[in-house]
């Protein structure tokens, strides 16, 4: 039988970037790409998400920005042995916790190159009071019938944050309004001097 137990571990910097990106654009949906690698340990797969690249905050359903960004990302990270391992999305409405069709479509595209791809949806309601350890994200993975299912409620895939104090650090950044300095690919295309890698964000 061998049910594949996939563990997903997201680095603190990727997690914080993701949330800050959503907080910067409060009235629109935002999305981005997750970068990392797959580590095989006998039957258990560990997907290590080491970075998050914020993509767009407007007209998310249009292809050109996504395609240009994916080509750039691939070129940037392939030399470091990293690849695209997932996609994150945050809905524009506070009470919307459904994975929309656009998100599923982009997830499907990523699954073609990385079948264990993670689709992370930001849980807007948990932003009000951050819980102690768990990340405020819903993990969705694709099962064998190519449907996106939420993990964690039944047995199966699990998402953890690498550094357990991530939510504390995140709260600190939220209070200092750090989201002002985050740059996504949309911002880069509007002004190419802005760095979509956000290399100086945490310095």
Residues 4-43, one symbol each (x = binds another protein by CB under 8 A, - = not), give -------------------------x--------------
Residues ≥6 apart with Cβ < 8 Å to 74? 83, 84
**Max CA distance (Å), the chain:** 52
CB of 153 to another protein, least distance (A): 23
Terminus-to-terminus CA distance in the chain, angstroms? 48
Residues ≥6 apart with Cβ < 8 Å to 165? none
CB of 78 to another protein, least distance (A): 10
- Residue in 41, 145, 193, 200 binding another protein, rule: CB under 8 A: 193
55 near 184, Cβ under 8 Å?
Answer: yes
Q: Does 175 bind another protein (CB under 8 A)?
A: yes
Q: Does 176 bind another protein (CB under 8 A)?
A: no
Q: Does 189 bind another protein (CB under 8 A)?
A: yes
Q: Does 80 bind another protein (CB under 8 A)?
A: no
Q: Does 96 bind another protein (CB under 8 A)?
A: yes
**Which position has the token pair 């409620």?**
153
- Return d(Cα 89, Cα 103) in angstroms, integer: 7
Nearer to another protein, 46 or 189 (CB): 189
Part in contact with another protein (CB under 8 A); list of ranges 42-50, 52-60, 81-89, 141-149: 52-60
Q: Does 59 bind another protein (CB under 8 A)?
A: yes
The secondary structure of 43-94 as a DSSP string is TEEEEEEEEEEEEESS-TT-HHHHHHHHHHHHHHHGGGT-EEEEEEEE-SST
Q: Does 71 bind another protein (CB under 8 A)?
A: yes
- Residue in 68, 133, 143, 158 binding another protein, rule: CB under 8 A: 68
- Return d(Cα 143, Cα 119) in angstroms, integer: 12
- Return d(Cα 63, Cα 171) in angstroms, integer: 34
- Residue in 12, 31, 65, 167 binding another protein, rule: CB under 8 A: 65
Residues that bind another protein (CB under 8 A): 29, 58-65, 67-68, 71-72, 74-76, 93, 95-96, 100-102, 105, 129, 171, 175, 189-190, 192-193, 195
């Amino acid at each position: 039988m061998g049910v594949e137990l996939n563990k997903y571990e997201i680095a603190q910097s990727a997690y914080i970037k993701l949330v800050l990106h959503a907080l910067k654009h409060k009235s629109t949906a935002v999305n981005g790409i997750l970068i990392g690698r797959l580590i095989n340990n006998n039957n258990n797969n560990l997907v290590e998400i080491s970075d998050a690249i914020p993509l767009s905050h407007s007209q998310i359903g249009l292809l050109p920005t996504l395609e240009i960004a994916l080509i750039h990302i691939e070129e940037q990270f392939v030399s470091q042995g990293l690849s695209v391992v997932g996609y994150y999305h945050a809905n524009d409405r506070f009470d919307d916790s459904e994975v929309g069709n656009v998100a599923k479509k982009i997830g499907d595209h990523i699954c073609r190159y990385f079948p264990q791809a993670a689709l992370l949806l930001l849980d807007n309601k948990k932003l009000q009071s951050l819980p102690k350890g768990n990340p405020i994200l819903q993990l969705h993975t694709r099962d064998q019938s190519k449907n996106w299912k939420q993990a964690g409620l039944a047995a199966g895939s699990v998402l953890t944050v690498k550094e357990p104090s991530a939510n504390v650090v995140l709260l600190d950044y939220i209070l200092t309004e750090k989201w002002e300095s985050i740059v996504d690919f949309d911002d880069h295309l509007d002004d190419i001097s802005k760095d979509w890698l956000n290399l100086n964000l945490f310095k």
